Structure 1
Amino acid sequence: MAEPPVIILEREVERLLCYRELIPRLEEALGKFSRRDSAEVIQPVRSTLPLQKHNGFLGLMPTYMENDGVLCTKLLCFYKRADGSTLPATQATVVLLDPEYGNVKAVMDGEVITGMRTAAASAISAKLLMRPEAEVLAILGTGKQALSHYNVFTEMFSFKEVRVWSHTRQRAERFCHSVSGPVTICLSVEEAVKGADAIVTVTRCTEPVLLGQWVKPGAHVAAVGACRPNWRELDDVLMKEAVVYTDSREGAMSESGDIILSGAEVFAELGDVINGTKPAHREKTTVFKSLGMGVEDAVSAELVFDQWKAKASQP
C-alpha cells in the first residue's frame, strides 16, 4: 500500500534546496533533454488555460524521466499585472508521483522551486556564454526572480558592481535592502545596462524594455520575463544581432514573443552546448531566452524530496 503524500511547504523547500546541489543536476537534465532520447526526458511544451477574468493563465508542465524514475508535474498560474499591483505575478505547486504505481509521493510549494531553478538555469547560461572577465551585472526588475538571480549570480561569479532598475525607486530600494551586498540603483534601463557584461531581465513588461543599442558588444543577456507569444522584453535590434540560445527550441518557438515577433533564429539550446554539439560564442553578444521547463521542476522536486527523506530518516 502506498504511503500518503508528503506536504512540503515553502519554508521547508527553502531549507532543503541549495544552488550547490541543484546546478549540477540541472546541467545534467538540460543535456539529457537536448539529446532527445525518449527514455531520458519526455516533456511536452507547456499547455496553458486562459484565466480571462483575471488576466492570467494556468500552465501545466508534466515531465517523465524514465531512466531516472521521475514523474512530475507543475501547476503554474501566471498573470499580466498592472504596474504597481500588489497581487502576485505567479503562483506554483509541484506534484511528484511514483511512475510505477501512479500515486502522489509529494506535493510541494512551487514558488521557491520556480525561482531557484529559473535563476540556476540563467546562471548556467552565464557560466557557458558570459565572458570570464565579466565585472558588471545589471538586473532589470525587482521581484522574486530578481532576488533569486541576484543570489545565484553573486554566489557563482565575482562581479565588481551590481546594478538594478525598477519602474519605481521604492521597489528598487526595497530590493537593495533585501540582498546581502551593495547594489547601485539606476533611474533608467539605459543607465543600468550601459557597459554591463551580464544583463538579467526579470520584468513584467509586455513591450520591449531592453534595446540593443544600449547593450555592450559581447555582453550576455539572460531574458526571463515575457513568457507569452505576444509579450516582449527585448527589441528587434538585440534579438537579431545576438546569438540566441534557449532551454527548449520547441518551447521558444511557441511561447517566446521575443523570438516569434522578432523573427530571430535560435542558434542552440543550452543542452547542446553542455553536450558539445554546438559551440558557446563567448566572444559575441549572446541572449539566453528562458521559458522554464518541466524537467527543471522535476529534478528540483526530486532533490527536495531526497533531502526531505534523508532528514526524516535521521534519529
Structure 2
Amino acid sequence: MNAAIDAIEAVMHAAGRGDAEAPVRTMQSVVRSGKEDFVFVVMPGVWRERQAAVAKIVSNVPDNPLEDRATVQGVAVMLDVATGSPRLIVDASTLTTIRTGAVVGLATRLLARSSCNVLGVIGTGGIAADLVEGVAAVRRIDRVLVNDIRPMVAATFAERIPFDAEVVNDNDELASRSDILITATSATDPTISAGAVQSGTHINAVGNFSPTGREIPGTVVAASTRYVDDIDNAMEEAGEFILAASEGLIPQGADGITGDLQGLVLGKVPPRTNEDEITLFKTVGTALSDVAGLAAAAVAAEAEDLGVVLS
C-alpha cells in the first residue's frame, strides 16, 4: 500500500509537469428491467516518464453481491509506449481496490488531523479492507468502527481486519465517534444525518458515483471544506456536490470545490487550516491513479517474477 500511495503522489507531480495526463473517462449505462442500471466505464491515461499508456475497462453492477458476484469487474492494460506491446494485464477490480485505498490514504495524509486515531467505516464490501489499509498507512489507527446494511458482513469484516474493531449498528453514532469517516456504499440517499459528524472530522466519501445519488447529506457537504480526486470527473458524477449545489447549499460547479488531489500534492490548494474544520474528500476515480497503480504493479511484478509472461 505504501508503494501505491507513493506512486500516486509521484504521478500527481508528473501531471503537474505535463508528463502525465488522463482525459475525462467515458461512461455508459444500460437500463435493466427490475434491477439497477448496468454501468460501463473506460478510463485511459499516460505517464510518459514511465513509458506507460493505460486503459481500464470496468463494469459496475450494484446488485451483483446478491448473487455472489463482484460489484466491479473488468480488466486493465498497460502498453509500453516504446514498442506498443502490452506490458501488464491485471484484474481491474484488484487494481481499483488497491489504488482507491491508496488515493484515500494520500488524501487522509494531506487532510486529516495528525492526532486522528479512530476510523469509522460505513459499508464493508470488497473495497473496505484496502480503504482501511490506506488510512492506516498514514495515521496511527487504534480503533475501527464498522457498519453495513448486512449485519453479518459487518461482523465478519470486524473479525477479519487486524485492528481493534467494533460493529456499531447506528451510522450516526458511528460517525459521531469517528475522527476519520469512510463511506463506501452504493446508497443513493445519505447514510448519515446532518448533525452526526463532529468538528475536526475528515470524511472520505468513496461510494455512490451517480450525479443523482449521495452518501453525505447536503448540510454536511456545505459545512465541510471540499476536495475531489479529479474536478472534471466530479462535475459529472459526484452527487454529493451536484445535489448540494442544486439545493443552493454550495456554489455551482468547480466554484463549490476547494481543490483536487493534484493541487494538494503540488501545494497549490490549501489543506486543513484548523483542528475544528471538517474536511470532505470525494473520490469518483481518475485514470491517473490507475496509471500509477499499474506502473507500481509492473515494477513489483518484474522485480519479484510474478504473474505469467506474455510473448
Looking at structure 2, the residues matched to 83 and 105 of structure 1 have their Cα atoms a distance apart, in angstroms, of 32
> Aligned pair in 2 of structure 1 residues 282, 121: CA closer, same or farther (>3 Å)?
farther
**Corresponding position of 1:214:** 196
Question: How many angstroms apart in 2 are the aligned matches of 1:84 and 1:192?
Answer: 25
- 1:83: how far off? 8.3
- Report SS of the residue matched to 1:127: helix
Q: CA RMSD in A?
A: 1.9
Structure 1 residue 61: Cα displacement: 0.3
Matched, 1:230 2:212: yes
- Contact residue 108 and residue 138 of structure 2 kept, 8 A: no
Aligned partners of 1:137 and 1:197 also within 8 Å: yes
- How far residue 151 of structure 1 moved from its aligned partner, in angstroms, is 2.1
After superposition, give the CA deviation of every residue in 1:4-34 in whole Å (9 maximum; x if it has no partner).
xxxxxxxxxxxxxxx121111111212333x
Q: Contact 1:206 / 1:230 at 8 angstroms: preserved in 2?
A: yes
Matches within 5 A, 1:14-33: 19-33=1-15
Shift of 1:190: 0.7
Letter of the 1:175 partner, please give it. Answer: F
Which range is displaced more, 44-53 or 187-196?
44-53
User: 2:77 maps to what in 1?
Assistant: 95
Misfit runs of 4+, over 6 Å: none
Q: What is residue 301 of structure 2 aligned with on the other side?
A: 308
Instruction: Name the SS for the 1:226 alignment partner.
Output: coil
Match of 2:108?
126
Separation of aligned partners in 1, 2:117 and 2:146: 15
Deviations 1:201-221 (A, max 9, x none): 111111111233100112100
Contact 2:11 2:47 in 1 (8 A): no
Code of the residue aligned with 2:107 in structure 1: it is S
Contact 1:120 1:152 survives alignment (8 Å): yes
Out of 191, 194, 198, the position equivalent to 2:180 is 198
Deviates most, 164-173 or 144-153: 144-153
The aligned counterpart of 2:19 is: 40
> Which segments of 5 or more consecutive residues in structure 1 lack a partner in the other structure?
1-18
1:287, 1:141 → 2: CA distance?
A: 17
Which residue of 262, 273, 291 corresponds with 1:271?
262
Letter in structure 2 aligned against 1:276 = G
Equivalent position to 1:61, from 32, 43, 48: 43
**How far does residue 282 in structure 1 lie from its aligned partner after superposition?**
4.6
Q: Deviations over 1:74-119 (max 9, x none)?
A: 0111123288553321113111112233332221112221111101
Instruction: Say if 1:182 and 1:242 are closer, same or farther in 2 by CA, change over 3 A.
Output: same
- C-alpha contact (below 8 Å) 1:97/1:106 kept by paired residues: yes
Match of 1:51 in 2: 30
- Report SS of the residue matched to 2:195: helix
Separation in 2, partners of 1:168, 1:111: 21
Looking at structure 2, the residues matched to 101 and 160 of structure 1 have their Cα atoms a distance apart, in angstroms, of: 48
Secondary structure of the 2:136 match is helix
Kindly provide the amino acid, as one letter, of the partner of residue 237 in structure 1. Answer: T
Q: Which amino acid aligns with 1:273?
A: L
Contact 1:59 1:77 in 2 (8 A): yes
Contact 1:81 1:204 (8 Å CA) reproduced: no
For residues 57 and 196 of structure 1, the distance between their equivalents in structure 2, rounded to whole angstroms, comes to 32
Mapped pair 1:258 → 2:240: yes
Distance 2:13 2:233 in 1: 16
Say if 2:269 is the partner of 1:290. Answer: no
Structure 2 contact 159–165 (Cα < 8 Å) conserved: no
Give SS of 1:261's match. helix
> Contact between 1:218 and 1:282, CA under 8 Å: does it hold in 2?
no
SS in 2 for 1:156: coil
1:214 partner SS = coil
Higher mean C-alpha displacement, 66-75 vs 146-155: 146-155
Are the equivalent residues in 2 in contact too, given 1:63–1:72 (CA < 8 A)? yes
The Cα of 1:288 is off from its aligned counterpart by 0.3
Q: Which runs of 5+ in 2 are unaligned?
A: 251-255, 307-311
Do structure 1's residue 245 and structure 2's residue 227 form an aligned pair?
yes
Per-residue deviation, 1:68? 3.0
Contact 2:64 2:70 in 1 (8 A): no
Identical pairs, percent: 22
